[in-house]
Amino acid sequence: MTKGKDSKPHIGIFGRRNSGKSSFINSIVGQDVAIVSENAGTTTDPVKKSLEIFGIGPAIIIDTAGIDDEGKLGKMRVDKSLEAIKTVDAAILMISENSFDVYEIGLIKRFNNLDVPFLIIHNKSDFEEISNKTIEKIENYTQSPIINFSVKHPDKSEEVINLIKKIIPETAYQSVSLLGDLLSKDDIVLLITPIDSEAPEGRMILPQVMAIRDILDNECVSIVVTEKAVKHFLEKTKIKPKLAVTDSQAFELVKKLIPENIPLTSFSIVFARMKGNFKQYIKGTKFIPELKNGDRILILESCSHRISCEDIGRYKIPKWLRNFTGKSLEFDVVSGLNKLDRNINKYSMVIQCGGCVATRKQLQNRLKPAIDAGIPVSNYGMTIAFINGIFERAIMPFKNTTF
């Protein structure tokens, strides 16, 4: 399966200013990709660097600002570093000169809270080796691996890489088939892709491209039509596809065109199974009829894109939900992985897009605060299926599957 532009495994480097995070990255990557200076606070915002890790493949290393930064601007930098934890599949806690205190303990607590595996590197070991006292102190809080390192003697680079490979979850870098467990060789899959103002000119959107590639990888046949051509195609060819996958916003029309004996779902729901919390999505979607006047709903988009009057998250879903419930509902839309403007407890429901350009970990952590707070979460496709009265049909292909 072809991965999205940001769906490579993400590894974050966290620690105090001047602990050698940037120098470490340059040493591991083998080139000067991060700015290095003796002045504390050189790295201001989280910066992504690409590298290849043997056994994992392409990965993204995130260089973050020092966790001990000071002042008003420093606090903003620290906040960005802490937010970056939510986006990583694994982390490296960088310490030096045997410094292990409230800053490091705080990071460890955040790693554990977000289920982020991590290792600890005591950097600048050429200047000062890690002491037994520091090791004992660390072991009071974690059993994560600890390793001495020096950029002046980078002979341990291979050991560090092996430790990263050991702690990073396989799900972060192993290609997972979107539809493979539903298909057998030579099966036919019908993909229904509307062409409207939201469709990029001259090309297809990423979920459609990824679905086509996945179908081909599974030695099956992909047939792509617009919603206007579905009826003619089925009547003329008499083909009965193993599965039909549509753009969610075409559910209202397509449900009438695809016979009940052909499984039907949407691109968004396919991605919801692969990347989101599928069980929570199913549970949360059923909350829709319980929405009340004045309830505020959070719409989460994973990407930034051109906005039009046909925008699915900003216009169509709010309109459809108001019409379906007959309630006066309020909506906030947050794009990418941006920080929320309101406390999560201000929302009655959260609706997440498919997340084709996000990693599984990023999507899981994006939803975690709402799930922990007991707030129902849903997905674009599931919400639209529910509104159109075909929720059970749309999730039926996945009822006996797990990811």
Concatenated DSSP letters for 111-155? HHHTT--EEEEEE-TTT-PPPHHHHHHHHTT----EEE--TTSGG
- Chain-centroid distance, C-alpha 324: 29
Half-sphere exposure of 85 (CA within 13 A, CB side): 24
Distance CA 240, CA 259 (A): 9
- Chain-centroid distance, C-alpha 218: 24
- DSSP 8-state symbol, 314: I
Neighbour count for residue 282 (Cβ, 10 Å): 18
> Can you give the pLDDT at residue 175?
65
Distance CA 233, CA 225 (A): 8
Q: Render each residue's pLDDT in the chain as its tens digit; 403 residues.
A: 333 345 688 999 999 998 888 888 877 766 554 444 454 444 455 778 777 777 677 888 898 999 998 888 888 889 999 989 988 999 999 999 999 999 999 999 999 999 999 999 999 988 899 999 999 999 999 999 999 998 887 778 888 888 888 888 776 666 678 899 999 999 999 999 987 656 566 677 888 999 999 999 999 999 999 999 999 999 999 999 999 999 998 999 999 999 999 999 999 999 999 888 899 999 999 999 999 999 999 999 876 544 444 688 889 999 999 999 999 999 999 987 677 889 999 999 999 998 877 788 888 888 999 999 999 999 999 999 999 999 999 999 998 765 5
> Can you give the pLDDT at residue 395?
96
> Can you give the pLDDT at residue 199?
59
Instruction: Determine how β-strand 118-123 pairs with β-strand 188-192.
Output: unpaired
> Can you give the pLDDT at residue 200?
61
All residues at 6 or more sequence positions from 256 whose CB lies less than 8 Å from its CB, including other chains: none
Which domains does the chain carry? 10-172 (3.40.50.300), 180-270 (3.40.50.11420), 276-391 (3.40.50.11410)
For residue 326 the two structure tokens come to 């007959």
Q: What are phi and psi of 276, to 5 degrees?
A: -90, -170
Radius of gyration from C-alpha coordinates of the chain: 24
Model confidence over 191-220: pLDDT tens digits? 999 876 565 666 778 889 999 999 999 999
For residue 88 the two structure tokens come to 């990583």
Residues 223/189, Cβ–Cβ less than 8 Å: yes
